[in-house]
Amino acid sequence: MHELGVVFYVIRDVKEVAEQNQVKSVETVTLEIGEVTGVVHELLTDCWNWAVKREPILENAALAIETIPAVTRCEDCGQEYGTVQYAKICPHCGSEHTYLVQGNEFNIKEIAVT
């Protein structure tokens, strides 16, 4: 389960930003997670809820997750399409010469403080 490790890294980064800005309490952390990252949102949320209780600055912080849809582009026809629905094969021309445009991101988008 790599979600716990991910949560530890997010907490580390959020604490660092909070300390740099003299924040006393974090209310919400919003993450942007690409659709094909392999991160299971429910497990990530469970790990978050467990881990933040051990950090005074984050102990009541909620986690918000925004999903970035996975999009693939075909090098042959130039069309873009939903990666999850069609995978590597372009539904427009049948080409396998495709690449992921978006959907593999993992970003801390916002830290709301009180």
Burial of 55 (0-12, 13-18, 19+ CB in 10 A): middle
Tell me the CA end-to-end span of the chain in Å, nearest whole number. Answer: 31
pLDDT of 60 above 90: yes
Please report the pLDDT score of residue 43 as a whole number: 96
Within-domain flag for 62: yes
Whether this prediction's pTM lies above 0.85 is answered by yes
Please report the pLDDT score of residue 1 as a whole number: 53
Cα–Cα dist 72/84, whole Å: 9
> What CATH number does residue 45 fall under?
3.30.2320.80
Please report the pLDDT score of residue 47 as a whole number: 97
Report the share of the chain in percent with pLDDT over 90. 97
Query: Tens of pLDDT along 22-38?
Result: 999 999 999 999 999 99
Cα–Cα dist 26/15, whole Å: 9
**Helix intervals (H) in the chain:** 3-20, 41-51, 83-86
Q: Which domain holds residue 26?
A: 3-69+102-113
Mean pLDDT of 95-112: 98
Within-domain flag for 85: no
Backbone angles phi and psi of 53, in degrees to 5? -65, -15
Within-domain flag for 22: yes
Count up the domains in the chain and report the number. Answer: 1
Within-domain flag for 108: yes
Within-domain flag for 97: no
Please report the pLDDT score of residue 11 as a whole number: 98
Mean model confidence pLDDT for the chain: 96
Residues composing the chain: 114
Quick one: pLDDT band at residue 94, thresholds 50, 70, 90? very high
Within-domain flag for 88: no
Within-domain flag for 20: yes
Within-domain flag for 12: yes
Mean pLDDT of 98-111: 98
Please report the pLDDT score of residue 101 as a whole number: 98
